[in-house]
């Protein structure tokens, strides 16, 4: 249909012109049918999902949950159960927790809460693209300050970029796609010296070591985002949460969050993973870290590749003599989906790959070597 005869529809279309489309990348099924492979032969390594958590293990928990729930009733007690479980797990109080439909939705929630037309939000380059998206949807301006070349925060530059209109600073630590965690001191110094909200997105913190969670109670402007999508392997169920001081969390929960953002099934599975299976999840984190080291070593062992250190479940690497988009497309033809990141600060030709169990990484490394050999030939 040719939209735009109605004034308000026309105005919304004009607003939408300023927004960019979120590129979710290739899906396994889409690629499989394009290159005539089976879905099961595709290695999907572009979205930092967690393949260390066995599918059978998660399906078993889902089956148990299906037998326990009454889908006719809105989830209320189940939100409380998950908050209680998180409260024990993180040593915070349940009142300090906000539950959402993945951390994406909580990013959107705080943007709605803090930003209007004419406001500004500040973040870093490079980082997770959803911050920019949610800021712009609000009609606010998104500004970003490059990281230093060693991927650390440029605290001075960030603070000096703050204007009277800056209401939110988004930090992602460990950062996607650079895979490093920022210094605790730097993050706190930003929170202490800024009047607006500081979001610290810790989607990958369990793969690292440190956290700024312990400061969320005392700093009125700090909110920490976490997710079940990465460490718990629940990307498909969409559960995320935020931790902030009790008063801020209460306002978000009572005034800004929708009444039932997360499904009963997702809430119950997340609670069970925390309460009954965390030891197992932890063992998978250890496995992942060991595999991550092997992957980085293997990548650095290939001529023309330099891998960066990682505190996440993905690795950023660059191809020194060949365009990353060429490598990306050649891998796609072999059924391997990674993320072509391109330029990262002064580093050209960067790609990002999810760390997966050994068998998968072996095939990835072998095919990557072949792609580079083909290019040499």
Ligand X SMILES: Cc1ncc(COP(=O)(O)O)c(C=O)c1O
Told to check if 31 binds ligand X by CB under 6 A, we report no
Stretch that binds ligand X, among 100-108, 138-146, 256-264, 291-299 (CB under 6 A): 100-108
Stretch that binds ligand X, among 101-109, 153-161, 162-170, 338-346 (CB under 6 A): 101-109
If the CB atoms of residues 298 and 354 are measured against ligand X, the closer one turns out to be 354
- Closest to 49 (Cα-Cα) out of 298, 333, 288, 309: 288
Which residue in the set 48, 123, 134, 271 belongs to the binding site for ligand X (CB under 6 A)? 48
Quote the Cα angle for 22-148-221, to 5°. 70
If the CB atoms of residues 102 and 261 are measured against ligand X, the closer one turns out to be 102
Number of residues that bind ligand X (CB under 6 A): 13
Stretch that binds ligand X, among 27-35, 97-105, 272-280, 349-357 (CB under 6 A): 97-105
Q: Using CA atoms, how far apart are residues 309 and 87, in angstroms rounded to an integer?
A: 31
Touching ligand X, residues 111-150 (CB under 6 A)? 128
Instruction: Return phi, psi of residue 243, to 5°.
Output: -125, 125
Instruction: Return phi, psi of residue 241, to 5°.
Output: -155, 165
Touching ligand X, residues 146-175 (CB under 6 A)? 172
Secondary structure of residue 174 in the 3-state scheme: coil
355: Cβ contacts below 8 Å, ≥ 6 apart: 288, 291, 292, 295, 310, 313, 314, 315, 361
If the CB atoms of residues 49 and 291 are measured against ligand X, the closer one turns out to be 49
Secondary structure of residue 361 in the 3-state scheme: helix
Report the residue closest to ligand X, judged by CB.
Answer: 102
SS (H, E, C) 193-244: CCCCEEEEECCCHHHCCCCCHHHCCCCCCEEEEEECCCCCCCCCCCCEEEEC
Which residue in the set 233, 240, 261, 335 belongs to the binding site for ligand X (CB under 6 A)? 240
Report in angstroms how near the CB of residue 369 gets to ligand X at its nearest.
27
Stretch that binds ligand X, among 58-66, 227-235, 318-326, 334-342 (CB under 6 A): 227-235
Q: Binding residues for ligand X, per CB under 6 A? A: 48, 102-104, 128, 172, 176, 201, 203, 227, 229, 235, 240
């Amino acid at each position: 249909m040719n939209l735009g005869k109605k004034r308000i529809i026309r105005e919304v279309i004009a607003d939408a012109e300023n927004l960019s489309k979120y590129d979710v990348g290739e899906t396994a099924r889409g690629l499989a049918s394009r290159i005539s492979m089976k879905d099961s032969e595709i290695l999907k390594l572009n979205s930092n999902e967690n393949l260390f958590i066995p599918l059978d293990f998660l399906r078993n928990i889902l089956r148990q949950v299906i037998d326990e729930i009454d889908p006719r009733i809105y989830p209320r007690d189940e939100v409380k159960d998950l908050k209680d479980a998180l409260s024990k797990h993180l040593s915070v109080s349940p009142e300090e927790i906000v539950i959402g439909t993945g951390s994406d939705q909580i990013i959107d929630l705080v943007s709605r809460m803090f930003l209007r037309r004419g406001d500004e939000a500040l973040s870093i380059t490079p980082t997770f693209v959803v911050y920019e998206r949610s800021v712009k949807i609000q009609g606010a301006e998104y500004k970003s300050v490059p990281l230093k070349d060693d991927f650390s925060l440029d605290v001075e530059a960030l603070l000096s970029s703050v204007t009277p209109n800056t209401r939110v600073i988004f930090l992602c630590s460990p950062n996607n796609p650079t895979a490093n965690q920022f210094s605790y001191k730097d993050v706190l110094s930003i929170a202490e010296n800024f009047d607006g909200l500081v979001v610290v997105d810790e989607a990958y913190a369990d793969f690292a070591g440190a956290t700024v969670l312990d400061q969320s109670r005392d700093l009125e402007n700090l909110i920490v985002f976490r997710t079940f999508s990465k460490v718990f392997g629940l990307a498909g169920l969409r559960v995320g949460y935020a931790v902030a001081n009790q008063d801020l969390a209460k306002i978000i929960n009572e005034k800004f969050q929708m009444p039932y953002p997360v499904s009963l099934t997702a809430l119950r599975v997340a609670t069970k993973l925390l309460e009954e299976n965390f030891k197992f999840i932890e063992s998978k984190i250890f496995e992942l870290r060991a595999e991550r080291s092997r992957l980085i070593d293997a990548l650095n062992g290939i001529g023309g590749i330099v891998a960066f250190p990682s505190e996440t479940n993905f690795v950023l690497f660059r191809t020194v003599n060949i365009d990353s988009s060429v490598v990306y497309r050649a891998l796609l033809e072999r059924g391997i989906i990674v993320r072509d990141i391109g330029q990262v600060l002064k580093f050209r030709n960067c790609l990002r790959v999810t760390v997966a169990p050994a068998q998968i990484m072996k095939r990835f490394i072998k095919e990557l070597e072949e792609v580079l050999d083909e290019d040499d030939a």
